[in-house]
Homo-oligomer: A and B are copies of this chain.
Amino acid sequence: MAYATQKLAEEKVFKDPVHRYIHVQDQVIWDLIATKEFQRLRRIRQLGTTYLVFHGAEHSRFSHSLGVYEIVRRMVDDVFANRPEWNKRERLVALCAGLLHDLGHGPFSHAFEHVFDLDHEYFTRAIILGNTEVNEVLRRVSKDFPKKVSEVIEKTYHNKQVVSLISSQIDADRMDYLQRDAYFTGVSYGHFDMERILRVMRPQPDQIVIKSTGMHAIEDYIMSRYQMYWQVYFHPVSRSAEVILRKTLERAKELYHAGYTFKHDIAHFHSFFENDVQLDAYIAMDESIILAYFQFWMSEEDAILSDLSQRFLNRKLFKFVEVDPSKDWEKLIRLEKLFDQAGIDPNYYLVMDSSSDLPYDFYRPGEEGERLPIYLQMPNKELSELSRSSDIVDAISGKRRTDHKLYYPKDLLHEEHPLHEQIIEIMHA
């Protein structure tokens, strides 16, 4: 039998707290899950530093990836299977793209990518197309199959229906992470009626639309996103941890380029510091490596590297005040000077973090750009963009909400510090 259509002797299931069970019938999917590149996702948390605020959020991209696969599977097998607008031959590419869409994520992805100027989408493609176990499995389907899977993930695939299953305003990716992140953090947001949403999805040429009778379920989903966004994804304290993570990596990189001699070999970071990251080095990099190096660095001579590393590991985070950069520039400049005076390097200890650069529609930190809008299919079969029909969606989708916070180590500015009073006064002015 062709590998593409080969079924397991008996369906396998993974127990999943969000979808109850993940069902696998295809040999290809089973083999992909067993690859080392996919298993690596167990060592990368789904929500980066968020577990330092919501202690339940220790789940990995591995479980999220299985969840996305399962939702795509339910779409194509249970919902679309008998609809003429859906091309059944796209089933396997859709399943694989759902499973593998996050393959290239690095540790603590946003902060990490930022420091080393990397792009997880690039590495997703590289893993799928490169010399990897994943590629080997995909190539057994057909020679051009890896490329197809990669195109779906990159949104360049010719059939936009397939693309929109995993990359639209209401796709399997988001439906999984909202529910999963809500489940693991324990917040009461993030719940919506996915079963109903699946039932009202309709494949259309080049996209998936929503029967208008499902509008309220969609509103509920949009509200979940909105709440998760402000309550969880942009939580100011997990941003503090991210700031420290970023600054630690920057410090290490700076020391490297300054010729500093590390006590502990920095082999795993070499190519990252040199800005010449090969696939193997990238795959070898995960959150256990980061955390282990931070432990190594805690005992480095360099005071800043040592301090920042221990702050991250021991959760001695920075505090923050709100700032308005359009008005507060003077204040920031004065604070920089005072920090310098106080012997606290402002490059590492006075950090502004903005979430103002959000796109029109809300996203989680690190989530890629623009996605296709949601269309309702009205009873007369015409399509209508969601925010036209929904007051709620209209209310929350158009608005840009800027948010600037100034992070700093309040503990270093203890009351006996000679500049304490002055700094605090300016800080809260």
Contacts of A216 in B (CB 8 A): 189, 227, 230-231
Contacts of A287 in B (CB 8 A): 288
Q: Which residue of B lies closest to A180 (CB)?
A: B56
On whether A62 and B55 interact (CB within 8 A), knowing A391-B396, A395-B394, the answer reads yes
Which residues of chain A (54-91) have a CB below 8 Å from chain B?
Answer: 54-56, 58-60, 62-63, 66
Query: Is the pair B315, A39 in contact by a Cβ cutoff of 8 Å?
Result: yes
Looking at the assembled complex, report how far the CB atom of A259 sits from the nearest CB atom of chain B, in whole angstroms.
21
Query: Is the pair A289, B295 in contact by a Cβ cutoff of 8 Å?
Result: yes
- A: number of interface residues (CB 8 Å): 72
In the assembled complex, the Cα of A192 lies from the Cα of B190 at a distance in Å of: 11
Query: Is the pair B188, A193 in contact by a Cβ cutoff of 8 Å?
Result: yes
Indicate if A260 sits at the interface (CB-CB under 8 A): no
Bits for A281-320, please: 1 = Cβ < 8 Å to B, else 0.
Answer: 0001011111111010000000000000010011110000
**Which of A11-19, A164-172, A323-331, A358-366 lies at the interface?**
A11-19
Looking at the assembled complex, report how far the CB atom of A312 sits from the nearest CB atom of chain B, in whole angstroms.
10
Indicate if A186 sits at the interface (CB-CB under 8 A): yes
Bits for A389-416, please: 1 = Cβ < 8 Å to B, else 0.
Answer: 0011011100100000000000000000
Indicate if A264 sits at the interface (CB-CB under 8 A): yes
Indicate if A267 sits at the interface (CB-CB under 8 A): yes
Chain A residues touching B, majority SS: helix
Query: Is the pair A314, B392 in contact by a Cβ cutoff of 8 Å?
Result: no
Contacts of A30 in B (CB 8 A): none
Looking at the assembled complex, report how far the CB atom of A310 sits from the nearest CB atom of chain B, in whole angstroms.
8
Query: Is the pair B186, A16 in contact by a Cβ cutoff of 8 Å?
Result: yes
Indicate if A382 sits at the interface (CB-CB under 8 A): no
Contacts of A21 in B (CB 8 A): 195
Query: Is the pair A395, B391 in contact by a Cβ cutoff of 8 Å?
Result: yes
Contacts of A184 in B (CB 8 A): 17, 184
In the assembled complex, the Cα of A39 lies from the Cα of B184 at a distance in Å of: 19
Q: Which residue of B lies closest to A192 (CB)?
A: B188
Indicate if A20 sits at the interface (CB-CB under 8 A): yes
Indicate if A158 sits at the interface (CB-CB under 8 A): no
In the assembled complex, the Cα of A34 lies from the Cα of B63 at a distance in Å of: 29
Indicate if A223 sits at the interface (CB-CB under 8 A): yes
Q: Which residue of B lies closest to A284 (CB)?
A: B295
Bits for A8-35, please: 1 = Cβ < 8 Å to B, else 0.
Answer: 0000011111101100000000000010
In the assembled complex, the Cα of A187 lies from the Cα of B188 at a distance in Å of: 15
Q: Which of B63, B191, B219, B264 contacts A55 (CB 8 A)?
A: B63
Given A216-B231, A287-B288, A291-B292, 8 additional A-B pairs, CB 8 A: A16-B186, A40-B313, A55-B60, A58-B58, A216-B227, A220-B223, A286-B295, A392-B396
Please provide the 9 A-B residue pairs with the shortest distance between their CB atoms, ordered closest to farther: A395-B395, A17-B186, A292-B292, A288-B291, A36-B314, A188-B193, A288-B288, A17-B56, A55-B63
Residues on A facing B (Cβ under 8 Å): 13-18, 20-21, 34, 36, 39-40, 42-43, 51-52, 54-56, 58-60, 62-63, 66, 183-189, 191-193, 195-196, 199, 216-217, 219-220, 223, 226-227, 230-231, 264-265, 267-268, 284, 286-293, 295, 310, 313-316, 391-392, 394-396, 399
